[in-house]
């Protein structure tokens, strides 16, 4: 990074002022360097909505992290959130957060259409940035964010919490060990009711519908477990089962670069029947399923002591010596806690995180291609 540099101390923090290269990033950026073992890496949350309640405990628990403040356009909402999680500072404005020397990392936990704007401003101020899924609503926005991070030497983290789920980690290990042989078919199912839309009016008005709000989870999971996608097809349900701006149900066909094929089925219209999030993998030497299911009136099939964790079952003659499905023991660990521990370690050490901003871009590329396929009735090749 070129330009003048000045180092000074502020309490337990070390603050580095650096002049960012010329062009649109010519403003002076404040880069926060926390002293390890003294105060930790200061994290500020932007957006005090429902998803932030999943992130806050994980940030608080992450080794080397401090949840230093929260900002929300509704200050009363921010104050209630701060009281709930013991956060000391409620920033009255977005600019006051950016002016704070305590903030090294900013977590953008806002409605989808606001991700790019806030992430870009935070990056250009010299902060590392975590962005909830989807990373952005367009590839142009994602590219701007990645470029901004590169220009200021900061890290853009994409939230892909299910990658950090211990059940998914177990499935990934089994695949890598050859327990089910060569993958040839992958299927995901995401069945939800309209509860999410009733709780989030902004989501009801989102024209990108179930693909960007839900299928992006399945897209990044299949990239993680199977590999990159080379082409997609897609169909939307045309019935008016629930009233939202975008498609409420989608079936996406996938062609992977390694020759496997797949299908993602997602709906927000499963008002009746079970809720399910699952991934099923067929290989030349076995079968693997990671699933979370619940049926109204019946106990959850996955242990709530592990929060979001998937139950994992497998058929693997090479591993178990038979053709019988085996339920596997899923290790303890909560996905958001594991994710934030990885993010904080990456900021502290400079190591590459498990999930990068580029991974976030590739996930939205899949769902944007699927939307194009649904609208045109054509197979859409990647990259776009």
Report pLDDT digits (tens) over 225-273. 999 999 999 999 988 778 888 899 999 999 999 999 999 999 999 988 8
CA–CA dist 293, 275 (Å, integer): 6
Q: Domains in the chain, ordered, with CATH?
A: 5-158 (3.40.50.720), 162-335+365-381 (3.30.360.10)
CA–CA dist 238, 43 (Å, integer): 43
Lateral strand order in the sheet of 89-90: 89-90, 65-71, 41-46, 105-108, 128-131, 156-158
Q: What pLDDT was estimated at residue 244? A: 82
Report pLDDT digits (tens) over 298-351. 544 444 433 458 999 999 999 999 999 999 999 989 999 999 999 999 999 999
Question: Which has more confidence, 293 or 8?
Answer: 293
pLDDT greater than 60 at residue 183: yes
Report pLDDT digits (tens) over 35-87. 334 479 999 999 999 999 999 999 999 999 999 999 999 999 999 999 999 99
What three-state secondary structure class fits 125? coil
Q: Which long-range contacts (CB under 8 A, 24 or more apart) does 50-55 make?
A: 50/199, 50/200, 51/109, 51/132, 52/81, 52/107, 52/109, 53/81, 53/84, 53/85, 54/336, 55/107, 55/109, 55/336, 55/340
Question: Which has more confidence, 281 or 1?
Answer: 281
Q: Model pTM?
A: 0.87
Res. 297 pLDDT band, cuts 50 70 90: low
Q: What pLDDT was estimated at residue 139? A: 99
Q: What pLDDT was estimated at residue 193? A: 87
Helical segments of 255-383, H only: 317-320, 335-349, 357-376
């Amino acid at each position: 990074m070129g330009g003048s540099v000045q180092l000074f101390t502020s309490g337990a923090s070390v603050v580095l002022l650096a002049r960012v290269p010329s062009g649109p990033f010519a403003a002076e950026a404040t880069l926060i360097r926390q002293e390890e073992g003294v105060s930790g890496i200061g994290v500020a949350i932007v957006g005090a909505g429902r998803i932030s309640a999943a992130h806050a405990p994980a940030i608080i628990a992450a080794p080397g992290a401090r949840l230093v403040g929260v900002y929300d356009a509704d200050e009363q909402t921010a104050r209630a959130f701060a009281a709930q999680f013991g956060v000391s500072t409620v920033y009255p404005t977005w600019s006051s957060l950016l002016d704070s020397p305590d903030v090294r990392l900013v977590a953008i936990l806002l409605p989808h259409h606001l991700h790019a704007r806030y992430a870009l401003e935070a990056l250009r101020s010299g902060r590392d940035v975590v962005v909830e899924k989807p990373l952005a609503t367009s590839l142009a926005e994602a590219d701007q964010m990645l470029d901004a991070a590169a220009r200021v030497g900061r890290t853009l983290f994409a939230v892909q919490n299910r990658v950090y789920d211990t059940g998914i980690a177990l499935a990934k290990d089994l695949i890598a060990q050859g327990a089910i042989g060569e993958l040839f078919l992958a299927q995901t199912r995401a069945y939800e009711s309209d509860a999410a839309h009733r709780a989030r009016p902004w989501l009801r008005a989102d024209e990108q519908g179930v693909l960007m709000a839900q299928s992006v989870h399945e897209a990044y999971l299949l990239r993680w477990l199977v590999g990159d996608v080379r082409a997609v097809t897609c169909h939307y349900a045309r019935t008016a089962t629930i009233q939202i701006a975008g498609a409420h149900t989608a079936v996406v066909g996938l062609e992977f670069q390694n020759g496997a094929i797949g299908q993602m089925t997602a709906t927000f219209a499963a008002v009746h029947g079970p809720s399910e999030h699952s991934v099923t993998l067929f290989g030349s030497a076995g079968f693997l399923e990671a699933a979370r299911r619940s049926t109204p009136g019946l106990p959850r099939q996955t242990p709530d002591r592990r929060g979001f964790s998937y139950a994992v079952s497998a058929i693997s003659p090479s591993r178990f010596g038979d053709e019988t499905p085996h339920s596997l023991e899923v290790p303890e660990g909560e996905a958001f806690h594991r994710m934030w521990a990885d993010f904080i370690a990456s900021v502290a050490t400079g190591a590459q995180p498990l999930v990068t901003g580029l991974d976030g871009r590739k996930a939205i590329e899949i769902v944007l291609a699927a939307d194009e396929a649904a609208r045109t009735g054509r197979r859409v090749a990647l990259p776009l």
